[in-house]
Structure 1
Amino acid sequence: MTIARRSLLLAGFAWPVLAAVAAEPVTATDVLGRTVTLPAPAKRIVLAQGRQLNALGLIHPDPISLLAGWGNDLERQNADGLARYRARFPATDAVPIVGDGGTANGFSLERAIALGPDLVVLSRSLAGTRRGPGDLVERLEAAGIPVAVVDFFLDPLRDTVPSLRALGRLIGRSDQAERLITFYEERMARVAQRIAGAPRPSVFIHAHAGGYDCCMTAGQGTFNAFINAAGGHNIAAAMVPGATGQIGLEQLIGADPDIYVATGGTHLAKTGGLVLGLGVGEADAAASFGKLLATPALATLSAIEKRRAFGFWHLFNDTPLHVVAIELLAKWFHPERFADIDPAATLAEGARFSAIPLDGTLWIAAPKA
């Protein structure tokens, strides 16, 4: 069993002491092209989606100290990451909840306003859920609260860099954000250069693999962008019109992709799915992956018969460190072109930016025949 597991327990623990930030106005452009100006770097932020802490924690050594409130979706989306924040930053549990930021109607505008934040950060999906007179951006601004829209999910290859740059400027951490952007862009450029002119294998991404009826997948959404960037062809792109959706098992078997990639997380442990993620041991990951590949219907796929079956952490889908997932995919799709590329080294370098350790089994490959 080829399993990649890297313990980065010291990641993020060697931050320099922050210099005092002058109380001067800061200006940034968000992903909607809006100009956002604050009288000073934000110190009381409401994250409408709690999972955007994934990005904030890459550009600030103590992101919890900046929070006036947040959505409770991180508990559901990334419980292991949240546990690491709780362990390192005891104030995590004292941050007020402003509803469920993972749903269109879950965010409480009233709670957010009552907290008196100096900035509210919305994702594209939340910024677009209320239109006309009820527009969430307009209502917050009408209450005198600045709003920045950043996103790492819907179109990550377009939005990651401007989102990081905007967040960096708005919290007075531009230097750190620019270092992260340089790291990100250099590795993305390396992948693009190496896949140029290569034939594109057909790929199926099995999202939340083993935890639900077969088969959840990506249509035009995040993982489709990952596949394209890594030099593959997503077979579900023509079958699923939205960002995500479900195809029938018969469709999958009929398409018989060259490569099968499952996504997993600790949220699938209770349902018998693929278990990968922060804090996951190699044995647990291997057992869950073996069980998945032995599923009678899936076992008939050529990709699984030929050991061209892989898995990675589902939550690479909402962090700037998705560059690691794209390197993994590129190496799996084009092993001859990426023989000297080590995604674990890329993860280790990316983890140096992180406020929490990024240890665990985050990807896996079928054993060689």
Structure 2
Amino acid sequence: MKKKICFLMIFVLLMSLLPAFGLANPVKAQETQVYLNGVKINTGDVLPFIENGRTMVPVRLFSENLGADVKWDDATQAVTIQGEDVSVKLTIGKKEAVVNGKNKTLDVAPIVLSGRTIVPLRFIAEAFGADVKWDKETSRAVVVWNIKIKDSTGNDVTVPAGLNRLVILNANAAEALRILQIPDDFIIGVSDSTSSYSPYLGLDNKPSVGGAFKPSLEKIMELKPQAVIAYGKYPDKTLEEKLEPAGIKVIRLDFFKPETYNNDLKTLAKIFGRVKTADEFMQWKANATAIVADRIKSLNAEDKFKVFGMDIGMGNNSLTATTWTIYGQNTSVHQGLEAAGGINVARDMKDYPKVNPEWVLEKNPDKIVLSAYEKDVLGYTVKDNTNVVKLRDSAITNPVISKTNAGKNKQVYIIEKHLLGGDKTYLGTLYLAKWFYPERFKDVNPNQVLKEYFEKWLGIPMKGIWAYPEP
């Protein structure tokens, strides 16, 4: 009995000493959740918690979700959070802070927990111009932040905080929202092309507002969205003139140009507090396609193949037409053909020139790439290659193509159009590179990369047939 009492006394004494030796975590009276503009923020291995009536969060919440730069000074135990026009400096264990050069007082001092710097949410958020509200019923700290962005036209736009009712005119933007893990129920209306462009997104049940370039403004206003996401140039400024007086913000982001896609994604991510997710996706994309640039860089000009690219099934662009619309400079297809190590026979032309078939015969390409629009040829819903085989056979036997080096050697390839669209040109480039230079890319499996894109970033299984012959 005496031994038990002695043990209990020692145990109680040790427990009372733990805080003095810094071995105990701060008392977390209540764990909570943080929502930024309607989207739940994942803070990783250290959950937000309440300390002395203040919500405490890892400092990386600001760098990963608001796009701020966070720097740590180990010597002074200070952390600096730098935004575009805001600078906040805090020191571990001290209630004094410096905001844009001015001294401020904190209610709760920053601490280190599990190797993470933990700071008071409200203080930092308000320094960045955000508003923080506490939802007692759900134990949520809700950060509402009006965000300043530069859109695809170069204009400065202030986006209202808390967007959760969107109309999407730009089909590529709908896919970007899925990559950023923005809930589908935020989308309350779409253009006709948005619902059909990517059937795997499951947006066909959303109300239609008409064409992407000529939407019904009446239908948009009936849905009462907070914002509309449109292309940079289309529709014209009538969209702003009619919608913004009704309190509907117009956000113009392209997503169809390979050279500006990353910037568009980062801008969209900033609006919803998904900067970290955007960075992770862009790193994955860079890693997935770096192999192409690495393996073709040793090719001399004389070693590269002459390549011709054209859409099939778009408007009047058919193999029997008297003129063909092709791809010159400033197009994503041109960029894909050349990124894969080809020499686009239309590289000296701009945009979408029209040529007669005999022009193609004069250029005599070594490889021909046809991008298919028709849903029964290639794509997510196609179950067999019956139609794509027919299309390829008709191309090879075409009176003009059959006389080119590509036709004679059956170097004619069919790829699903959207794999050479601006938001996915990097994926199409993998297929092209393996078709053009199979020996250099024999260990590369483009279908595997595409599968990872679907499953890892879109969160859906990969289906369908996307290219023929399969590289």
8 Å contact from structure 2 (residues 310, 369) kept in 1:
yes
Report the AA paired with residue 283 of structure 1: N
> Counterpart in 2 of 1:23?
143
TM score, norm. by length of structure 1 = 0.77
Q: CA deviation at 1:25?
A: 0.8
TM score, norm. by length of structure 2 = 0.61
- Shift of the 297–37 alpha-carbon distance from structure 1 to 2, 3 Å rule, reads same
**Is 1:34 matched up with 2:155?**
yes
Give the length in aligned residue pairs.
323
Counterpart CA distance in 1 for 2:209 and 2:231 is: 15
8 Å contact from structure 2 (residues 372, 416) kept in 1:
yes
Deviations 1:152-191 (A, max 9, x none): 22xx221110111122222333332222111112234332
Q: Secondary structure at the match of 1:152?
A: coil
> Counterpart in 2 of 1:255?
363
Residue correspondence of structure 1 range 6-17 to structure 2 within 5 A: none
Q: Secondary structure at the match of 1:310?
A: strand
Counterpart CA distance in 2 for 1:226 and 1:108 is: 34
> Counterpart in 2 of 1:13?
none
Choose which of 328, 334, 337 in structure 2 pairs with 1:224: 334
Flag the structure with more relative contact order, 1 or 2, with Cα contacts below 8 A and sequence separation at least 6. Answer: 1
Counterpart CA distance in 2 for 1:21 and 1:365 is: 53
Counterpart CA distance in 2 for 1:190 and 1:37 is: 39
Residue correspondence of structure 1 range 189-338 to structure 2 within 5 A: 189-198=290-299, 199=301, 200-208=304-312, 211=318, 213=321, 215-220=324-329, 221-239=331-349, 241=350, 243-267=351-375, 269=376, 275-284=377-386, 285-318=388-421, 320-338=423-441
Q: CA deviation at 1:206?
A: 2.0
> Counterpart in 2 of 1:115?
223
Q: CA deviation at 1:362?
A: 0.3
**Which structure dedicates a bigger proportion of its chain to helix?**
1
Counterpart CA distance in 2 for 1:46 and 1:306 is: 48
8 Å contact from structure 2 (residues 333, 421) kept in 1:
no
Q: CA RMSD in A?
A: 2.9
- Shift of the 22–202 alpha-carbon distance from structure 1 to 2, 3 Å rule, reads farther
- Shift of the 41–188 alpha-carbon distance from structure 1 to 2, 3 Å rule, reads farther
Counterpart CA distance in 1 for 2:325 and 2:220 is: 34
Unaligned runs of 5+ in 2: 1-39, 43-139
**Which structure dedicates a bigger proportion of its chain to strand?**
2
**Is 1:72 matched up with 2:192?**
yes
- Shift of the 366–253 alpha-carbon distance from structure 1 to 2, 3 Å rule, reads farther
Counterpart CA distance in 2 for 1:41 and 1:29 is: 18
**Is 1:157 matched up with 2:258?**
yes
Report the AA paired with residue 196 of structure 1: K
Deviations 1:74-97 (A, max 9, x none): 35x53xx32x444xx7xx42x332
> Counterpart in 2 of 1:54?
175
> Counterpart in 2 of 1:361?
465
Deviations 1:236-287 (A, max 9, x none): 2334x3x3243211101111112111111334x5xxxxx1111213432333
